[in-house]
Amino acid sequence: MKRAAVIGCGDVSSVHFGALKGLDVELVGVSDTDDGRLRAAADAHGVPGYADYRELLEVQRPNVVHICTPHDQHAAMAIEALERGINVIVEKPLAHTLEEGRKLVEAARRSDAKLGVCFQNRYNATSRALRSLLDGGTLGAVRGASATVMWHRTAEYYRDRPWRGTWAEGGGGLMMNQAIHTVDLLQWLVGEVESVSGSVSNRSLGGAIEVEDTAEFAATHAGGAASVFYATLANAENAPVTLDVVTETASLSLRGDLTITHADGRVEVIREAAGDSGGRDYWGASHGLLIADFYANLDGPEPFWIDAFEAEKSLRIVKDLYSQSSFDPALTS
């Protein structure tokens, strides 16, 4: 039986705890610097709690550590675990800066342990169906795509976890904390992004955060396709994420379910699988699938397919976008 530990007992840890309950895995400890969250998690799961994550790693010696901390802690914690030979599941983004991301990519290359990054929307039934259709070639080449993230966040959301609204700890705002999932899907489905042109701004939360709440870009992808992207936290509600792909013979529309409209008028619909991740509904329902797949492949020879190298792609896109705006004081960091 594998031994797992969770570092960071905030909101997103709930989906990791929920996923572990359904696996043949022993939870051996938790860590958090907030005493209230630490005690609550330790009591709820009947395991020791550690304020210092290094003590957790040293005493409990887990096989896998789940890193669910603020973004600026991802890389350093993951690198330390990998250097100890501990497998890592880390929440997105890979890191809060490109420099830290590069360090983690190199550490993962050196280590015999595995690293997986939580871009769980790649496990959605509709995302996988869309990727399969595009790879199959029957719809012709991809001509272009568009995506939107129209969500709502309040000042209270940021006051509850102040790190979310800062460059130093969050590494960015909307694009790092919410929309990076859709950026990842866009480049995974349409092709790696070769160039991006766009901007970020603050449209509604300027008094509450120093980072962006709105962003837009146009991108060119390997293979020649073009895409456009718009995201904001100034919407009145958390609307469904949209992702539309146009090929030579069809239009594919991802809005929860996947609708394929063929040039000859035929329409197909692929339903998204129902499920409860244990978290907020807009996180999607596929965290558990990703985590289960990570554990299922731990003893195999190959790296996990959403590894540091793969996760660095979306981080580079976001940081490239920041570098084109005067909004980020750190620019390309």
Residue range 169-179, pLDDT digits in tens: 999 999 999 99
Residue 143 CA to chain centroid, in angstroms? 26
> What is the mean pLDDT of the segment spanning 157-186?
97
Rounded Cα distance between 244 and 129, Å, is: 14
Q: Is pLDDT of 89 > 60?
A: yes
| pLDDT at residue 285 in the model | 75
Q: Which fold has domain 124-271+306-323?
A: Dihydrodipicolinate Reductase; domain 2 (3.30.360)
286, 275 Cβ separation under 8 angstroms: yes
Residues 6+ positions from 97 with CB-CB distance below 8 Å: 171, 319, 330, 333
Residue range 21-40, pLDDT digits in tens: 999 999 999 999 999 999 99
**Predicted confidence band at 332 (pLDDT cuts at 50, 70, 90)?**
very low
Rounded Cα distance between 71 and 67, Å, is: 10
By percentage, how much of the chain surpasses pLDDT 90? 92
> What is the mean pLDDT of the segment spanning 58-68?
98
Q: Is pLDDT of 165 > 80?
A: yes
Residue 56's nearest CA partner among 73, 81, 37, 36 is: 81
Write down the CATH superfamily of domain 2-120: NAD(P)-binding Rossmann-like Domain (3.40.50.720)
Range with the poorest average pLDDT among 59-63, 168-172, 192-196, 270-274: 270-274
Which amino acid does the sequence have at 133? Answer: L
Residue range 98-151, pLDDT digits in tens: 999 999 999 999 999 999 999 999 999 999 999 999 999 999 999 999 999 999
Q: Is pLDDT of 237 > 60?
A: yes
Q: Domain ranges in the chain?
A: 2-120, 124-271+306-323
